[in-house]
Amino acid sequence: MNIKVCGITQFKQLQQLDALGIDFAGLIFFEGSPRCVKGKIAAREIVDADFDLKKVGVFANADYDTIMPIVDAYNLDCVQLHSNESTKLCKALSKEVEVIKTFHFQENENAEIENKLQLYDDVCDYFLFDAFNKDGLSAALESSFDWNQLSNFTFEKPFFLGGEIGFADINKINLVNHPDLFAIDLNSKFEISTGVKDLVSVMQFKKNLIR
């Protein structure tokens, strides 16, 4: 099972995640987030490093002309579009970089999400399923959703499972029987302080996944 650790704010931790064999690292470029990487990790540090993990830039309602210079400056492998981005933007970006499109779950909105999945299916590489939060960005930091909802959808796209996932969720994740579950997205439940990850807990989590 692939692991993505999001909200990295220290270059040293990025290096450590790579050395530990973590698959994806999320760098948040939304300035309203307390985990925004701007001013914390220099683009040159990342460009000069040789990483095996994929570097994911997380954006919220940014446009193409804002995103692509950052992709180039930080040598990003993927972009995660975390808010209300259009299919047109996803399609344009997908010609340059891998695209992860986030969908936020609310109760009794399965039909609406199913329609969105169909619209975005051809314009992104991955889905990420997260909880709903009114600010449209910090859901993964604050709330979870009923993962059983995923069995109601007919999509065939590799997806990241997000929400407020913690170490206590390992058994629950091991019971998720969905052929397209591709990666687990970890963030605030694995922190010593805001933006600083507890890497021992991350590795313990990874070792206890059976998928």
Q: Which CATH number does the domain housing residue 171 bear?
A: 3.20.20.70
Work out the average pLDDT over 167-174.
90
Higher pLDDT, 108 or 21: 21
High-pLDDT (> 90) share of the chain, %: 74
Q: Is residue 152 over pLDDT 80?
A: no
Q: Given a cut of 70, is residue 132 above it in pLDDT? A: no
Q: What is the pLDDT of residue 142?
A: 41
> Domain containing 150: what range?
2-208
Say what the pLDDT of residue 157 is: 93
pLDDT over 80 at 87, yes or no: yes
In terms of pLDDT, which residue wins out, 14 or 147?
A: 14
pLDDT at 135: 44
Q: Is the pLDDT assigned to residue 140 strictly greater than 50? A: no
Residue 64: per-residue pLDDT: 98
Confidence tier at 18 by pLDDT (50, 70, 90): very high
pLDDT band at 148 (very low <50, low <70, confident <90, very high): confident
Q: What is the pLDDT of residue 109?
A: 60
Q: 147: pLDDT confidence band, cut at 50, 70 and 90?
A: confident
Is residue 112 over pLDDT 80? no
The number of domains in the chain is 1
- In 3D space, the residue among 57, 51, 45, 43 whose CA is nearest the CA of residue 16 turns out to be 51
Instruction: Output the pTM of the full model.
Output: 0.92
Average pLDDT, the chain: 90
